[in-house]
Chain A
Amino acid sequence: MTATTDARSGIVLSRLAKSYGTVRAVRGLDLAIAPGETVALLGPNGAGKTTTIDMMLGLIKPDEGTVSIFGVPPSVAVRSGWVGGMLQTGSPLDHLRVREIVTLMASYYPRPLPVDDVLRTTGAAEFARQWTTKLSGGQAQRVRFATALVGDPDLLLLDEPTAALDVEGRRAFWQAMRAVTEQGKTVVFATHYLEEADAYADRIVLLADGQLVADGPATEIKAQAGSRTIRATLPGVDIGALGALPGVRSAERHGDAVTLSCSDADAALPALLGAFPWVRDIEVTGGTLEEAFLELTASEPDTRAQTMEAAR
Chain B
Amino acid sequence: MSGATHVRYEILRTLRNPLLYAITLGLPLVLFYGVASGQRHVIHDGTGFPLYFMTAMAVYGAMFAVTAPGARIARDRATGWTRQMMITPLRARTDVTAKVVTMYLVAVAALGLLFLAGASLGVRLTATQWLELAGLLLVGVAPLAVLGLILGYLLPGDALTPAVGGLVILFALFGGVYGFQLASSGPLFDVMKGLPSYWLVLAGDATVNRGNWPAQAWITIAVWVVVLVPVAVLAYRRSARRV
Chain A positions near chain B (C-beta within 8 angstroms): 55, 57-62, 73-75, 78-81, 83-85, 87, 89-96, 100, 103-105, 107-110, 147, 151
Contacts and interface: CB of A to CB of B under 8 A. Distances in A.
B5 A104 contact: yes
Contact of A78 (B2, B79, B88): B88
B12 interface: yes
Contacts of A89: 80, 83
A87 B87 contact: yes
Interface string B75-99: 1100111011111111100000000
Contacts of B2: 107
A58 B83 CA distance: 10
A199 B5 CA distance: 39
Contacts of B12: 95-96, 100
Contacts of A96: 9, 12-13
A59 B243 contact: yes
B147 to A, nearest CB: 23
A190 to B, nearest CB: 15
Contacts of B87: 57-59, 78, 83-85, 87
Given A78-B88, A87-B87, A110-B89, A100 B81 contact: no
A79 B13 contact: no
A108 B88 contact: yes
Given A96-B13, A105-B88, 8 more contacts: A58-B243, A79-B89, A79-B91, A81-B88, A90-B84, A107-B6, A108-B90, A110-B1
B129 to A, nearest CB: 37
B1 A90 contact: no
B80 A91 contact: yes
Which A-B residue pairs are the 10 nearest by beta carbons?
Answer: A90-B80, A107-B5, A95-B16, A85-B87, A95-B13, A108-B88, A58-B243, A61-B243, A108-B90, A89-B80
B242 interface: yes
Residue among B6, B85, B242, B243 with the most chain A CB within 10 A? B243
B99 to A, nearest CB: 13
B185 interface: no
Contacts of A59: 83, 86-87, 242-243
A151 B81 contact: no
Nearest to B9: A104
B154 to A, nearest CB: 19
Main secondary structure of the interface of A (DSSP, over half): loop
A78 B89 CA distance: 6
Contacts of B79: 90-91, 93-94
Contacts of B128: none
A100 B12 CA distance: 10
Nearest to B78: A91
Interface of B: 1-2, 4-6, 9, 12-13, 16-17, 75-76, 79-81, 83-91, 242-243
Contact of A100 (B9, B80, B84, B89): B9
A109 B242 CA distance: 18
Nearest to B16: A95
Contacts of A151: 88-89
A74 to B, nearest CB: 6
Contacts of B89: 78-81, 108-110, 151
Contacts of B85: 108
A107 B88 CA distance: 10
Contacts of B17: 95
Contacts of B4: 107
Nearest to B18: A95
A61 B1 CA distance: 27
A73 B243 CA distance: 8
Nearest to B84: A90
A93 B5 CA distance: 15
Nearest to A76: B242
Nearest to B3: A107
Contacts of B1: 81, 107-110
B5 to A, nearest CB: 3
A39 B6 CA distance: 33
A246 to B, nearest CB: 48
A95 B84 CA distance: 17
Contacts of B16: 95
B13 A93 contact: yes
A94 B85 CA distance: 14
A18 to B, nearest CB: 11
Given A93-B76, A95-B12, A104-B9, A87 B88 contact: no
Nearest to B91: A79
Nearest to B242: A75
Nearest to B85: A108
Contact of B84 (A73, A107, A147): A147
